[in-house]
């Protein structure tokens, strides 16, 4: 028994039905009948065929009320008639989160079944079988309904604070060079649902406006110290050092910086006090670091006097040296 398409069956059956007007007059004649059962075709011939029902019983083909028989079982057979039997299939359909349904159908393919039931698939929906595949008895068709929701929100992007040194300002002083400005980010969340249940969530973050950082300058310069001299004079010092002081005199001599070696000029270690630095030394007065000496290293200072007597009188002592701005 060969296979024939469902469309051809319906066309041939419709054409053959026109010839049934003769009814029982041809019941006893020799006949050639085309029998198609579930798309399988067989040619049968003989004298003993009465009605379509008789033919089906002789061939052992069982049919139920839900099965499709064309023409009807009480139709008398005529020569050249095509008899079509399509057994109904019982299948199950699970559509999303709806209740599972049992369906009796004559559909040939899964796609035919969905059309018969007016069930439409969305672009994102999934089905567990190929739409073009033949429908099989007892088969379960499962449709997973997928949809997505896109949520767009905005959030502020905080700015950072940058700090940079300012050598012209005193320690503890700060000033704002650039005010901070918040940025803006767009948060896009795509939520995927299957049969109403969330199965995936994808979040993307795009900065649509970059923040501007706040810039703060902070002072690094030491504040001058308020100092009162022995004479009651007040002055400011940026630093004070405890040093070992000695004295020397060199009338008519010159210092390393070219100044005359006289009172008010002192020799220092340039690594401790740079040449040219203004100083105040209690018991000596104001001075300038303008000379160096081979023995003057570290916290040593050598004070110039105008006479040897003054130098000898001063001797060697520990002093506080103030650096004057």
The 10s digit of each residue's pLDDT in 69-121 is 999 999 999 999 999 999 899 999 999 999 999 999 989 899 999 999 999 99
Instruction: Tell me where in the chain the CATH 3.10.20.30 domain(s) lie.
Output: 2-86
Mean pLDDT over residues 155-162, rounded?
97
Query: Which of the four pLDDT bands, split at 50, 70 and 90, describes residue 156?
Result: very high
Enumerate the CATH 2.20.230.10 domain ranges in the chain, comma separated: 148-220
**pTM higher than 0.95, yes or no?**
no
Beta carbons of 299 and 241 less than 8 angstroms apart: yes
Domain at 225-323: CATH architecture: Beta Barrel (2.40)
φ/ψ of residue 18, rounded to 5: -65, -30
Residue 229 pLDDT > 70: no
pLDDT of residue 231: 61
Q: What is the DSSP letter of 98?
A: S
pLDDT recorded at residue 6: 52
Cβ distance 187 to 153 under 8 Å? yes
Q: Residue 217: phi, psi to the nearest 5?
A: -100, 135
Q: What is the pLDDT of residue 66?
A: 86
Could you tell me which CATH number the domain at 2-86 has? Answer: 3.10.20.30
- Percentage of the chain surpassing pLDDT 90? 68
CATH number of 148-220: 2.20.230.10
* pLDDT for the residue numbered 45: 87
3-state SS, residue 109: strand
Distance CA 106, CA 87 (A): 7
With a CB cutoff of 8 Å and minimum separation 6, the contacts of 231 are none
Q: Band of the pLDDT at 267, cuts 50, 70, 90?
A: very high
pLDDT of 227:
65
The pLDDT tens digits of the residues spanning 2-41 come to: 444 554 444 444 444 444 444 444 445 788 999 999 878 9
Q: Quick one: pLDDT at residue 1?
A: 45
| 290-314 confidence digits (pLDDT tens) | 999 889 999 999 999 999 999 999 9
Convert the pLDDT of each residue in 137-155 to its tens digit: 999 999 999 999 999 999 9
The Cα 268–Cα 293 span in angstroms is: 7
Question: Is the predicted pLDDT of residue 133 greater than 60, yes or no?
Answer: yes
Select from 188, 184, 121 the least CA-distant residue to 153. Answer: 188
Q: What is the DSSP letter of 153?
A: E
Three-class SS state of 253:
coil
For residues 58-76, give the mean pLDDT: 90
Using an 8 Å Cβ cutoff, are 231 and 178 in contact? no
């Amino acid at each position: 028994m060969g296979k024939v398409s469902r469309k051809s069956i319906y066309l041939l059956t419709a054409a053959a039905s026109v010839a049934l007007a003769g009814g029982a007059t041809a019941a006893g004649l020799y006949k050639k009948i085309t029998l198609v059962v579930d798309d399988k075709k067989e040619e049968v011939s003989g004298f003993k065929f009465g009605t379509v029902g008789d033919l089906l019983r002789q061939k052992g083909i069982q049919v139920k009320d839900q099965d499709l028989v064309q023409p009807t079982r009480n139709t008398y057979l005529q020569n050249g008639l095509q008899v079509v039997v399509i057994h109904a299939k019982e299948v199950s359909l699970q559509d999303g989160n709806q209740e599972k349904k049992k369906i009796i159908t004559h559909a040939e393919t899964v796609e035919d079944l969905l059309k018969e039931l007016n069930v439409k698939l969305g672009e994102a929906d999934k089905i567990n079988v190929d739409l073009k595949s033949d429908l099989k008895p007892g088969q379960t068709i499962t449709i997973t309904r997928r949809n997505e929701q896109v949520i767009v929100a905005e959030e502020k992007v905080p700015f950072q604070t940058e700090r940079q040194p300012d050598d012209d300002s005193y320690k503890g002083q700060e000033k704002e060079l650039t005010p901070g400005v918040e940025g803006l980010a767009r948060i896009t969340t795509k939520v995927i649902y299957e049969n109403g249940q969330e199965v995936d969530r994808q979040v993307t973050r795009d900065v649509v406006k970059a923040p501007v950082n706040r810039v703060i300058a902070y002072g690094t310069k030491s504040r001058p110290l308020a100092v009162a001299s022995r004479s009651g004079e007040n002055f400011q010092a940026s630093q004070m050092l405890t040093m070992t002081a000695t004295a020397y005199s060199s009338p008519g001599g010159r210092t390393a910086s070219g100044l005359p070696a006289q009172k008010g000029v002192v020799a220092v270690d340039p690594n401790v006090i740079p040449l040219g630095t203004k100083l105040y030394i209690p018991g000596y007065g104001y001075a300038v670091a303008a000379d160096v000496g081979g023995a003057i290293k570290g916290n040593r200072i050598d004070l110039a006097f105008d006479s040897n007597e003054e130098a000898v009188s001063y001797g060697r002592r520990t002093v506080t040296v103030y650096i004057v701005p």
